[in-house]
Amino acid sequence: MRVLVTGGAGFIGSHFAKRLAAAGHEVVVLDKLTYSGNRANLEGADVELVVGDICDADAVARAGAGCEAVVNFAAETHVDRSILGAAEFIETDVHGTYVLLGWARDTGARLVQVSTDEVYGDVPEGQSSREDDPLRPSSPYSASKAGGDLQVLAAVRTFGIDACITRGANTYGPNQHPEKLIPLFVTNALDGEPLPVYGDGRQRREWLHAEDHCAAVERVLQEGRPGEVYNVGGEEHENLDVTKWVLAFTKADSDLVRHVEDRPGHDRRYSLDDSKLRALGWSPSHSLSGSGLRQTVEWYEQNRAWWEPIKSGEYRRYYEEQYGARLR
Ligand code: DAU
């Protein structure tokens, strides 16, 4: 199968592109190589990389020539950046999805939209989100992803497009940009820098290894029913516990932990009911508290050459804007 993987030089997208290529598929990656896209993520992989934007219909048509399916990982994804400014989120996550749907409509290709559990918003203790629950996004980021999801579902109904949506939990693993909790805390701990815990740190997230996330998306690509949404859950932990384990695995001093001003609109908890996907035969093979986090820490220890260049230049400006006042 020839597959277009948009955002395939980013974190989850590159794991997915490599996975499909290793399984013998022809893979074309279309990636804008923004701050979070990285050629190094595809090093040694048997994929064709086309640099371009999913908002550009001509670029999509050129990259997608001959492809039977598109899997859309291209997105602005960081909640904190969306609070600083959301224009790019709306552009890529909503308009970009719309452009891909136009291409899928013209060509008859299948589309898998990779979305997020954040579209459901806060989930009270004892409950889990199901795929047909109302969307109550809390941040400009999750509102943009919800907008993309709704465009997909409308296009299935109105134009008969063959499309599915996956909604994944917090994903971790090698090659994740160090703006997100785990790689930020691991790399800061390795450098003896503070770990900025938002608020009381009692927020809960479900943690899903990138490999398990990609296996889920592949399963939906192969077996998902058009118009259906599939939750991809993970292992639920409090941020303070994740922080404690990062300190233990990096052998860093607990004095590095700093409770700082909370994220505005911060969701306390996400929880997914993923029984629908499990009924398709998917189940995770990694566990964060098993060896998942330890192995991820080892990867960052052994791959400074990957993350040190990222934590310079634009990143330093972002870091100062995001954390400067909080940490002073
Ligand atoms: O749930 C899926 C989502 O997970 C994805 O759709 C998003 O793209 C991804 O960014 C992630 O969203 P979160 O906002 O949950 O991830 P983040 O790594 O930014 O934060 C995880 C938790 O850690 C959250 O409760 C906020 C907290 N946190 C995060 C950072 C960056 C801190 O306490 N301090 C920090 O410096």
Question: How far apart, in whole angstroms, are the C-alpha atoms of residue 3 and residue 25?
Answer: 7
Q: Is the CB of 242 under 6 A from ligand 1?
A: no
pLDDT in tens, 91-101: 999 999 999 99
For atom 36 of ligand 1, which residue has the closest CA?
196
Taking residues 112-118, report their average pLDDT: 99
Is the Cβ–Cβ distance between 27 and 5 less than 8 Å? Answer: yes
- Out of 31, 53, 93, 118, which one is annotated catalytic? 118
- Out of 117, 162, 211, 274, which one is annotated catalytic? 117
Q: What pLDDT band is residue 301 in, cutting at 50, 70 and 90?
A: very high
Q: Is the CB of 167 under 6 A from ligand 1?
A: no
Tokens standing for 206?
Answer: 């479900």
Q: What pLDDT does 35 receive?
A: 96
Q: Is the CB of 270 under 6 A from ligand 1?
A: yes
Choosing from 76, 79, 247 the residue with most ligand 1 atoms within 8 A of its CB, the one to mutate for a pocket test is 79
Q: What is the mean pLDDT of the chain?
A: 98
Q: Is the CB of 78 under 6 A from ligand 1?
A: yes
Q: Determine whether 162 is an active site residue.
A: no
Q: Determine whether 141 is an active site residue.
A: yes
Question: How far apart, in whole angstroms, are the C-alpha atoms of residue 120 and residue 130?
Answer: 9
Q: What pLDDT does 277 receive?
A: 98
For atom 6 of ligand 1, which residue has the closest CA?
116
- Out of 141, 172, 230, 270, which one is annotated catalytic? 141
For atom 20 of ligand 1, which residue has the closest CA?
181
For atom 23 of ligand 1, which residue has the closest CA?
181
Strand 69-72 relative to strand 170-172: parallel, antiparallel, unpaired? unpaired
Residue 271 sits at φ, ψ, to 5 deg, of -155, 130
Q: Is the CB of 35 under 6 A from ligand 1?
A: no
Distance 180 CA to ligand 1 centre (A): 6
Q: What angle do CA 146, 149, 152 make, to 5 degrees?
A: 155
pLDDT in tens, 210-251: 999 999 999 999 999 999 999 999 999 999 999 999 999 999
pLDDT in tens, 251-283: 999 999 999 999 999 999 999 999 999 999 999
Question: How far apart, in whole angstroms, are the C-alpha atoms of residue 215 and residue 221?
Answer: 10
Q: Determine whether 117 is an active site residue.
A: yes
Is the Cβ–Cβ distance between 172 and 210 less than 8 Å? Answer: yes
Question: How far apart, in whole angstroms, are the C-alpha atoms of residue 288 and residue 251?
Answer: 18
Q: Is the CB of 16 under 6 A from ligand 1?
A: no
For atom 25 of ligand 1, which residue has the closest CA?
203
pLDDT > 90 in the chain, percent: 100
Q: What pLDDT does 111 receive?
A: 99
pLDDT in tens, 164-204: 999 999 999 999 999 999 999 999 999 999 999 999 999 99
Distance 178 CA to ligand 1 centre (A): 11
CA-to-CA dists, residue 85 to 40, 62, 321, angstroms: 27, 31, 12
